[in-house]
Amino acid sequence: MAEHKLTVEDLLRSPALQLRLLAGEDGLSRSVSWAHVSELDDPTPWLLGAEVIMTTGLGVPRTAARQRAYLERLDDAGVSALALSAQLHVPPLHPAFFEAAESRGMPVLEVPLAVPFIAIAQEVAAALQEDASHRLGAQLQVFGALRWLASEDLDNATLFKRLERLSGYDVYMCTPQGRALLPGVPVPPALDVLPTEPDAPPTIPGGFVLPVSAPGGPAGFLAAFEREGARPAGLAVVQHIATVAALQVAMSRHEHETLRREGAETLAELLQDVLDPPAARRRLARLGLPLEDESVLLVVRGAPDEALRRALGDLPHLMLRRGDDHYLLGPPELGSAVSALPGVHAGMSRPFPPGESMRLVQREALWAVAHAAESGRALAHYGDDTTGRWLPDDPATLAALVDHVLGEVLAYDKAHDSRLLASVRVWMERNRHTDDAATALHIHPNTLAYRLRRFAALTGRDLSSSSAFAEVWLAIRAARQLGLLGFGP
């Protein structure tokens, strides 16, 4: 505890108060911040620490065990001394009570009947008048932090270091889960100081802990510990600091939401290929994406919004939701973060320079996510399929291959709502095992045999021929790469 102007020994030495020490001499150097009357058997939820508790004895228990527990509760709450009125309602005090006071160094004082409690309170108030002026000045200066925010554009670390110097406390902040709440402000060294109940008192050993307000419930908590050699300015100042923290959290959330929406709009424009590279790079730089390293595009399926945001953490990225898919643009490390989520399938394009056209990489990512879903993998990279290595990157060439080999089948499936091409693909993927493919397609083997014959007739290619098989297989992979196929059986 930092040193205050007034101690228990100062009160004991005051001739006007005529106090007598009954026990706890080792605690006479304890500082006193206030004197308060309480007749409750447990006043600790309403205490801030360093008080002298005065009582006529109505709240003092009668049994030895309960008397000891009463004194220990007061001491645990940081009470400086217990003052008992002589000759009123104090029950007989047991040896266990005095032993606890001595072992803990908790001063127990006797107040003569002729001395009213108000006299002790006035003595404390008068002695602490200068300290009260210091606290008021600190409150006003902390309140002035709002002006600093508006005029100096301070970062969090600088702002809260100033508040620490003014308040006499070391300030820490964290989310309810113990993570950093604001960049630049450390988390408490021990999380056991965080309250476990909404109405928990703010007092903790050596300081205070307060919620940082936000819509829907606390955004986190602020812990303030008295700094050795400083003059702590009290709870009101810490409350002001918590208000400043809540304002900073609100501003940070607003800024983050603004950037998130702008990022989604930018990614939509990039996917539509309506931004020229210089304009795209300027936009990406403003949104915090590094331009010196290559980027990737991911398509993610099966990830809830909030879980995906938590997984991405502080990684720079843009995110856009389209239907059930999330499109992510950023560094390759995004893949590792996303693939750790349960039940997720993600596809990653090849790395490309930031700001370049994304027409091709969009197809790569869509191909890769389809491959991930089809193979049951969490993450697939474009090019994982060895067959795809033989295909050109040029979309026009791929489209020509698909039209030349599969054009008639695609037109037939569309006109008749049939599944010739899907059936052939499943049959090929199962190494031409008709029974296995029919089971996967949930059809009879004879039905599959008919579809294979119909496919051969439309394409003019006999699938028992190795060359025809290879040509059809490459055409199917090209159609897949162009996003022309569904991938369910």
Residue 4 — very low, low, confident or very high, per pLDDT cuts 50/70/90?
very low
Over residues 404-429, mean pLDDT: 92
pLDDT classification of 397: cutoffs 50, 70, 90: confident
Q: Which of 354, 384, 414 is the last residue of a domain?
A: 384
Q: Both 356 and 426 in a single domain?
A: no
Nearest partner of 185 among 200, 166, 172, judged by Cα:
172
328 and 424 in a common domain: no
When pLDDT is averaged across residues 14-26 and rounded to a whole number, the result is 90
Q: Decide if pLDDT at 33 tops 90.
A: no
The string of pLDDT tens digits covering residues 180-200 is 889 899 999 988 889 888 777
Q: Which residues pair with 221 in a beta bridge?
A: 174, 211
Does 265 fall in a domain?
no
DSSP result, 459-486? HT--TTSHHHHHHHHHHHHHHHHTT---
Q: Given 327, 354, 384, which residue is the final one in a domain?
A: 384
| Share of residues in the chain with pLDDT > 90 (%) | 40
Q: Measured between alpha carbons, how far is 223 from 238 in angstroms, rounded to an integer?
A: 9
**33: amino acid identity, one letter:** S
Torsion angle of C-alpha atoms 345, 351, 353, 356, degrees rounded to 10: -50
CB atoms within 10 A of CB 298: 27
> Closest Cα to residue 378, out of 341, 339, 348?
339
Helix (H) or strand (E) holding 20: strand 20-23
Nearest to 123 by CA among 48, 43, 52, 27: 52
- Which of 105, 127, 149 corresponds to the end of one domain? 127
H/E/C letters for each residue in 301-366?
Answer: ECCCHHHHHHHHCCCCCEEEEECCEEEEEECCHHHHHHHCCCCCEEEECCCECCCCCCHHHHHHHH
Residue 224 predicted with pLDDT over 70: yes
Residue 225 has pLDDT above 80, yes or no: yes
Of residues 120, 96, 99, the one with CA closest to residue 23? 99
CATH number of the domain within which 176 lies: 3.30.450
What pLDDT, on a 0 to 100 scale, did the predictor assign at position 389? Answer: 57
Span of 16-25, 119-128, 202-211, 382-391 with lowest mean pLDDT: 382-391
Q: Residue 12 is encoded by which pair of tokens?
A: 């004991």
Residues 6+ apart with CB under 8 A from 16: 115, 119, 123
Mean predicted confidence (pLDDT) in 390-400: 77
Provide the domain limits for residue 100. Answer: 8-127
Q: What percent of the chain is modeled with pLDDT above 70? A: 90
Query: Do 189 and 107 share a domain, yes or no?
Result: no
277 domain-assigned: yes
pLDDT band at 126 (very low <50, low <70, confident <90, very high): confident
Residues 6+ apart with CB under 8 A from 34: 48, 50, 51, 52, 124, 128
The string of DSSP letters for 32-56 reads -SEEEE---S--GGG--SSEEEEE-
Per residue in 129-165, pLDDT (tens digit) is 655 555 555 555 565 665 665 566 778 888 889 888 8
372 and 453 part of one domain: no
Q: Which of 345, 367, 349 shows the shortest CA–CA distance to 301?
A: 345
The Cα–Cα gap between 98 and 25 comes to 11
| pLDDT band at 489; cut points 50, 70, 90 | very low
434 and 361 inside one domain: no
* Whether residue 137 sits in one domain with residue 243: yes
Same domain, 184 and 208: yes
At 97 the pLDDT is: 96
Same domain, 91 and 174: no
Q: Are residues 192 and 112 in the same domain?
A: no
CA distance 17 to 119: 7
Pairing of the two strands 379-381 and 345-348? parallel
Is residue 1 assigned to a domain? Answer: no
Confidence of residue 23 (pLDDT cuts 50, 70, 90): very high
pLDDT at position 239: 85
What integer pLDDT is reported at residue 223 of this predicted model?
94
Confidence of residue 385 (pLDDT cuts 50, 70, 90): low
Domain identity same for 417 and 320: no
To 5 degrees, how large is the angle CA 483–CA 486–CA 489? 150
CATH of residue 366: 3.30.70.270
What does the alpha-carbon distance between residue 355 and residue 295 come to, in Å, rounded to a whole number?
9
Tokens of 314: 């502080």
Q: pLDDT category, 65, cuts 50, 70, 90?
A: very high
Residue 406 included in any domain = yes
Q: What are the structure tokens assigned to 391, written together?
A: 């295909």
* pLDDT over 80 at 208, yes or no: yes
CA distance 46 to 48: 7
pLDDT value of residue 25: 94
On the question of pLDDT at 88 being above 90, the answer is: no
Q: Which residues pair with 51 in a beta bridge?
A: 34
pLDDT band at 412 (very low <50, low <70, confident <90, very high): very high
What does the pLDDT read at residue 139?
A: 57
**489 domain residue, yes or no:** no
Averaged pLDDT, 407-426: 92
Identify the CA nearest to 124 among candidates 34, 29, 191, 226: 34
- Which residue type is seen at 458? L
Number of folded domains that form the chain? 4
Instruction: Give residue for tokens 């300030």.
Output: 171
The residues near 47 (Cβ < 8 Å, ≥ 6 apart) are 36, 53, 77, 78, 79, 201, 203
Q: Is residue 101 part of a domain?
A: yes
Of 13, 12, 23, 6, the C-alpha closest to 106 is 23
For the segment 355-362, the average pLDDT, to the nearest whole number, is 88
Do 345 and 413 lie in a common domain? no
How many Å apart are CA 361 and CA 332, to the nearest integer?
13
Residues 14 and 105 in one domain: yes
**What average pLDDT does range 353-374 have in this prediction?**
85
Provide the pLDDT for residue 79.
94
In-domain check, residue 364:
yes
Residue 74 sits in a domain of what CATH number? 3.40.1390.20
Question: Is the predicted pLDDT of residue 2 greater than 50, yes or no?
Answer: no
Flag the least confident range among 39-48, 181-190, 450-459, 477-486: 477-486
Mean pLDDT of the chain: 86
